[in-house]
Structure 1
């Protein structure tokens, strides 16, 4: 998918056989799709993927002239899982309340680093100071020397507990943030790319390729082609507007939305919450 136009440019389908796993086929399909674009004189400046080990190695060795970025959403999701697992350890309960703020901080760091990896790391690593209630510091290698939030009033009690530098929670957080592999991977989200629009296409793809039905290889290709044509035709379609006012809609001429509600897990079963704070609006 092209990032600027959100249109599907190429795809490749592979059939699982003996001795080849679905993970290994992702590398083969990625190479075929890239080679198809390059053979048709498409200049590729950058490609965004998840942190697939085989694809990472292939792009580094075979397509070194193409810049490789990681999907921010997948990286943040992985960090969130690591933090959640660490918070369940003994004496690390204080880390639980910091999981969502740290994930939001990673998004903010990638969005405000202006495509400079060093600046991204400086902003992201500052979370180790913030969680200890330290909001200004000295850094000769960066101009980012203080938190960008408003000055915290000492009289106002924060809902989160500041972490002790010598505590188990802070040590677990520091070990994860300062991990050499993670620090290296974080440098590849400086362009703030994410595959949200591609996930939307995958969701629409199930209309043409239901996962519960079996199709032949040619059928899979044809159905994927139909889904790509449908997506490309509607990608720039303007949002629907209210033409006739009613109780559930806004004034005439305002954008229309489909209303959905989040599902909450209670006692192992899904419960539909109809409260306003759990409402989600989808453009029509």
Structure 2
């Protein structure tokens, strides 16, 4: 249903003679495939909140489980920082350069080990200055340690790198999510309404 609604919406926009230069959606697999195959001239981005949500559900569970293992407790304070870093990346890359976005994301693997210079072509050092006070409260991971290597595996997984490169540097779907929340209040999904009943509630 979600894909069908998306396809109809795109068809309506195109029928008005408009060209879709950029598209921002969640990570819905069918929509991603459709946009890739049927809209090759449209730049498709992911809403940052939806990618962060994936980190907080899928990757956070892995990191929390890792933090409970022996000699891996130091990872716990970095879990929240990982999500914050994800929000900072597109906000600090208005050009939407996917290679730069990817290199900024991968830099977190070095940063948590107190390494602030990187091997990237576009992002060669952390953007922060000298870390002092509250910024230095978290314990660094020991380079080459089991926890550092496991953190690297999770942060640089193939799926994560794919998603990060498509982060939207500008528009997000928050306003649409807010609209849907209002609609759900007056027309709950778990109740079936007649056409006129639904129309009245939407209006």
Offset at 1:166? 2.8
1:103 pairs with 2:79: no
Q: Which residue of 2 aligns with 1:112?
A: 92
Q: Distance in 2 between matches of 1:218 and 1:203?
A: 21
C-alpha offsets along residues 230-260 of structure 1, whole Å, 9 cap, x if unaligned?
xxxxxxxxxxxxxxxxxxxxxxxxxxxxxxx
Q: Distance in 2 between matches of 1:222 and 1:156?
A: 53
C-alpha offsets along residues 144-199 of structure 1, whole Å, 9 cap, x if unaligned?
3222222125x989321211233332222211222122212211115343211111
Q: Distance in 2 between matches of 1:172 and 1:193?
A: 33
Q: Distance in 1 between matches of 2:135 and 2:181?
A: 43
Q: Distance in 2 between matches of 1:48 and 1:33?
A: 14
Offset at 1:57? 0.8
Offset at 1:84? 2.2
Query: What TM-score do the two structures reach when normalised by structure 1?
Result: 0.63
Which structure shows the higher helix fraction? 2
Offset at 1:94? 2.3
1:132 pairs with 2:109: no
Q: Which residue of 2 aligns with 1:71?
A: 47
Which structure shows the higher strand fraction? 1
Gap regions ≥5 residues in structure 2: none
Q: 1:138 to 1:26 in 2, by over 3 A?
A: closer
C-alpha offsets along residues 189-246 of structure 1, whole Å, 9 cap, x if unaligned?
153432111111112213431346431244334533x2xxxxxxxxxxxxxxxxxxxx
Q: Distance in 2 between matches of 1:198 and 1:156?
A: 36
1:147 pairs with 2:126: yes
C-alpha offsets along residues 31-59 of structure 1, whole Å, 9 cap, x if unaligned?
11111111122221111111111111111
Q: Which residue of 2 aligns with 1:173?
A: 151
Offset at 1:72? 0.6
1:85 pairs with 2:66: no
For residue 69 of structure 1, give the secondary structure of its aligned residue in structure 2. strand
Q: 1:151 to 1:209 in 2, by over 3 A?
A: same
Q: Distance in 2 between matches of 1:207 and 1:84?
A: 30
The partner residue of 1:184 within 162, 166, 176 is 162
Q: 1:222 to 1:32 in 2, by over 3 A?
A: farther
Taking CA–CA contacts closer than 8 Å with sequence separation of 6 or more, which of the two structures ends up with the larger relative contact order?
Answer: 2
After superposition, the CA RMSD in angstroms is: 2.3
CA contact (8 A) 1:48 1:70 kept: yes
1:41 pairs with 2:17: yes
What is the total number of aligned residue pairs between the two structures?
198
Gap regions ≥5 residues in structure 1: 1-24, 227-284
